Structure 1
Amino acid sequence: MVMRAAVFGDTGTIGLVDRDPPEPRPGWVRLAVSAVGICGSDLNLLYANAGASRGVQPGHEVAGIVDCVGDGVAWSPGSRVALEPLVPCGACDWCRRGLRNLCPDLKLCGFTRPGGLAEYVHVPADALHAVPDDLSPAVAALAEPMAVCVRGARLADIRPGDRVAILGAGTIGLLSILTARASGAGEILVSGRYPHQREFAAALGADAVFEGADALLAAVGDRHVDVVVETVGGHADTLAEAVRTARSGGRIVMLGVFEGAPALPGFEFFRKELTLRASNCYGRECHQGDFALATDLVTRHAGAVAPLVTHSFKLDQVAEAFAAAADKRARSIKVQVEP
């Protein structure tokens, strides 16, 4: 038996290779992959780190079906699941506190372990979250980015009635509308660069949508906002924009991954006594872990989030899938691959 898997090449390319399917060891399962999302970190591995990612099998936004299990596993073959792609050591102080995302020996499917852009993937049994049989794999795979937003809303301490600004309207920004509302936000303002992103933001319930952070700030005026959720990262100026948008005593949560040192208006940050929190992946330190809550949210809001999957490709079209995800002129939000 041979399976197909997508791997990065050494010239910024991605293609298929034949590999032996994994045999599950004790406590692990072999997952038959149903749907995999492509996110900005995948695009960065391919286009910005050409060569450095050679041989990596990407894919961390994964939904699938349990195919076979190792010893000591309670899951049954045929179970439909979403994958929490963190593989921590399970023994360190961080892991014991539920902060698996901070484990110094953390491995991540799709980066430092083989990911889900393959017909099968080998994962720990405790990384799986059950989803209803009638939930589409496309929606189930949105549990991973939703978990990022769940943690962001929690670390931002969004409270009932808060006025919340979300900078960026990609998948994370759009799903943050739902987590902000679930946290009790009274008003949600969203800035998005592209027209189709702004259309989706309005459809998901944003109270006001703007072409950019400057337009949002102009509309906010002297009232400012209680919480700013930054979702862009990269080389954007959105952290500085977040400082300008937040009210005195306000809170900023950083979900975007910045390259280099982002600009921060130090005096304004000081004068306003702002709180800035970075949010990295998701954890289990609360009664209900971030990923478990995210799975519940995508299930309850399946009809609302399903349209975010704008493009779907087969595994042998993986290069076209990455191109569509990178080209916003294609009106892409979430591009997925169905092995």
Structure 2
Amino acid sequence: MKAFVVTAPGEAGVQEVEPPVARPGEVVVDIARVGVCGTDVEFFTGEMQYLHDGHARYPLRLGHEWAGTVSAAGDGVDQAWLGRRVTGDTMLGCGNCLRCGRGQHHVCEFREEIGIRGGRPGALAEQLAVPVTALHALPDDVDDTQGALVEPGGNALRAVRAAALAPGDRVLILGPGTIGLLAALFARAAGAEVHLAGLPGAENFPRALGFQHVWTADSVPPLPFDAVIDASNSPGLPAKAVELVEPGKRVVYIGLSGSPSLVDTRKLALKDVTAVGVLSGSPGLSGAIEQYASGAVDPRPLVAATVGLHEVSEVLAGVRIGPGPKIHVDPREGDQ
């Protein structure tokens, strides 16, 4: 089959590889749609920390935001999965440790991550092998585009849940990228008054989604924010989040900068602020599917374009296509 493979920093392309086989407990999925993520960009540039600490190495097959149809099932798998449209969890815990036992497989020390960690091939290919335990069925009301947005949606939904918003609360989201905008959509669906702040020139797209309160990071008005969600990659904004949040309220950190960010814990203590870190959409995947299916949240406007495998290198190199922050890939598209 054809797959997109990164062989070294800045070096990647479509290769012919052996198709996956459904081992016991696994299924093979025919991939319909894959999202390109900032993590994929870091692997392409060589900046991703996993490359430096031994959790990942080249060659890499990327892709962890996906949707498709089960085409084969290994031993021990319920045959009812065959023909079902699915998406799946990126985080594959060992299943034996204390963290997995308490339902926190996404922080398992021994976990694999599809398309990211432990040599697990990703979904930028015609087919993908996945443990059946990681699958989430997609209802007919959730199309392939929405299905490939379940993984980032799960992350964003977890951030909004961590903010503990009540209807009418005011939330500020720093960083109007894919996760920040998805968090804004979930927060709006929960009845919050949503404010977004980003770089100058990034105001138009959030406004096109119906968000009226859009600022630059330096022009945020002095309002009482019941929660601040940092979905940016700026090393300076985590501290800014603590300054902007109301005393006794919450800051949520879901964005990651390329260098260490500093937070003065004295301010956390003196303002009685709760700070929450969010890794992985795993506990939020089902909730994201439910809200997409009900129409409470429609993430599809975030997708600027859908391209084929041969165009992925340009996307990873920073070529922009359209106003939305997300690029999707259809491995079946074009003469590949």
Scaled by the length of structure 1, the TM-score of the pair is: 0.88
Identity over aligned pairs, percent:
34
Match of 1:20 among 18, 21, 36: 18
Measure how far apart 1:61 and its partner are: 0.3
SS in 1 for 2:329: strand
Structure 1: which amino acid aligns with 2:227?
V
**Whole-angstrom distance in 2 between the partners of 1:23 and 1:141:** 22
**Whole-angstrom distance in 1 between the partners of 2:212 and 2:270:** 29
**Corresponding residue number in structure 1 for 2:231:** 231
Q: Give deviations 1:234-266, integer Å, cap 9, x for gaps.
A: x43110211121111121000002333202244
**Whole-angstrom distance in 1 between the partners of 2:311 and 2:153:** 25
Measure how far apart 1:273 and its partner are: 1.9
User: Pairwise mapping of residues 217-256 of structure 1 onto structure 2 (< 5 A)?
Assistant: 219=221, 221=222, 223-233=223-233, 235-256=234-255
Between stretches 300-309 and 8-17, larger displacement belongs to 300-309
**Corresponding residue number in structure 2 for 1:331:** 323
**Whole-angstrom distance in 1 between the partners of 2:96 and 2:58:** 31
**Corresponding residue number in structure 1 for 2:334:** none
**Whole-angstrom distance in 1 between the partners of 2:157 and 2:230:** 14
Question: Is it true that 1:129 corresponds to 2:136 in the alignment?
Answer: yes
**Corresponding residue number in structure 1 for 2:33:** 35
Unaligned 5+ segments in structure 2 are 332-336
Instruction: Provide the aligned length of Structure 1 versus Structure 2.
Output: 322
Compared with structure 1, are the counterparts of its residues 278 and 48 closer, same or farther at alpha carbon in structure 2 (3 Å cutoff)?
A: same
User: Pairwise mapping of residues 141-160 of structure 1 onto structure 2 (< 5 A)?
Assistant: 141-160=148-167
**Whole-angstrom distance in 2 between the partners of 1:261 and 1:65:** 40
Do 1:165 and 1:225's aligned partners in 2 also have CA atoms closer than 8 Å?
yes
**Corresponding residue number in structure 2 for 1:287:** none
**Whole-angstrom distance in 1 between the partners of 2:9 and 2:218:** 38
Q: Give deviations 1:204-243, integer Å, cap 9, x for gaps.
A: 4434111x22211xx1x1x42110000012x431102111
**Whole-angstrom distance in 2 between the partners of 1:138 and 1:302:** 16
Compared with structure 1, are the counterparts of its residues 45 and 302 closer, same or farther at alpha carbon in structure 2 (3 Å cutoff)?
A: farther
SS in 1 for 2:109: coil
**Whole-angstrom distance in 2 between the partners of 1:311 and 1:302:** 23
Match of 1:201 among 206, 218, 222: 206
Measure how far apart 1:106 and its partner are: 1.0
Match of 2:178 among 158, 165, 171: 171
Question: Is it true that 1:180 corresponds to 2:187 in the alignment?
Answer: yes
Compared with structure 1, are the counterparts of its residues 134 and 151 closer, same or farther at alpha carbon in structure 2 (3 Å cutoff)?
A: closer
**Whole-angstrom distance in 2 between the partners of 1:303 and 1:256:** 21
Do 1:30 and 1:123's aligned partners in 2 also have CA atoms closer than 8 Å?
yes
Match of 2:195 among 189, 200, 210: 189
SS in 2 for 1:55: coil
Q: Give deviations 1:272-303, integer Å, cap 9, x for gaps.
A: 1211111000344xxxxx11111112233388
Compared with structure 1, are the counterparts of its residues 142 and 41 closer, same or farther at alpha carbon in structure 2 (3 Å cutoff)?
A: same
Do 1:83 and 1:129's aligned partners in 2 also have CA atoms closer than 8 Å?
yes
Do 2:27 and 2:132's aligned partners in 1 also have CA atoms closer than 8 Å?
yes
Between stretches 313-322 and 55-64, larger displacement belongs to 313-322
**Corresponding residue number in structure 1 for 2:147:** 140
Q: Give deviations 1:96-145, integer Å, cap 9, x for gaps.
A: 21111111111100112110001111101121111133533112100010
Between stretches 54-63 and 158-167, larger displacement belongs to 158-167
Report the aligned-residue RMSD.
Answer: 2.1
Question: Is it true that 1:83 corresponds to 2:84 in the alignment?
Answer: no
**Corresponding residue number in structure 2 for 1:62:** 66
SS in 2 for 1:148: helix
**Whole-angstrom distance in 2 between the partners of 1:104 and 1:308:** 33
Compared with structure 1, are the counterparts of its residues 168 and 125 closer, same or farther at alpha carbon in structure 2 (3 Å cutoff)?
A: same
Do 1:167 and 1:230's aligned partners in 2 also have CA atoms closer than 8 Å?
yes
Structure 2: which amino acid aligns with 1:316?
H
Question: Is it true that 1:44 corresponds to 2:49 in the alignment?
Answer: no
